């Protein structure tokens, strides 16, 4: 139990500390950085295809990203718990 609490505190600190160290910094995603790098390498580059659907706002896009991450984490947690229970059972 103590180990779980310690790990949770470490994860929270890893998420919060950068916000205080880099005051005023913009924490953008890798997609934007890649797009800028491609533009520097070849200014006339054209993407092969466009998105099928563009979210109406950045907040919706962030919500969908977080929802996808939560579903993935839930699946991984369920799978690990299931395998651990199966291991204890057998």
**pTM assigned to the model:** 0.52
Q: What is the pLDDT of residues 11-70, one digit of tens each?
A: 999 988 887 887 777 767 777 788 889 989 998 988 888 889 888 988 898 899 999 999
- C-beta separation of 33 from 41 below 8 A: no
pLDDT at 43: 87
Domain segments of the chain: what residues? 56-90
Q: What is the dihedral of CA 9, 26, 33, 8, to 10 degrees?
A: 10
Query: What is the spatial distance between Cα 57 and Cα 62, in angstroms, rounded to a whole number?
Result: 9
pLDDT at 90: 67
Query: What is the spatial distance between Cα 69 and Cα 77, in angstroms, rounded to a whole number?
Result: 12
């Amino acid at each position: 139990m103590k180990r779980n609490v310690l790990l949770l505190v470490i994860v929270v600190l890893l998420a919060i500390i950068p916000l205080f160290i880099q005051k005023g910094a913009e924490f953008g995603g890798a997609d934007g950085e890649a797009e800028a790098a491609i533009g520097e390498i070849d200014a006339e580059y054209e993407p092969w295809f466009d998105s099928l659907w563009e979210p109406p706002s950045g907040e919706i896009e962030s919500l969908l990203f977080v929802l996808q991450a939560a579903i993935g984490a839930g699946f991984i947690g369920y799978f690990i718990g299931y395998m651990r229970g199966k291991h204890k059972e057998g």
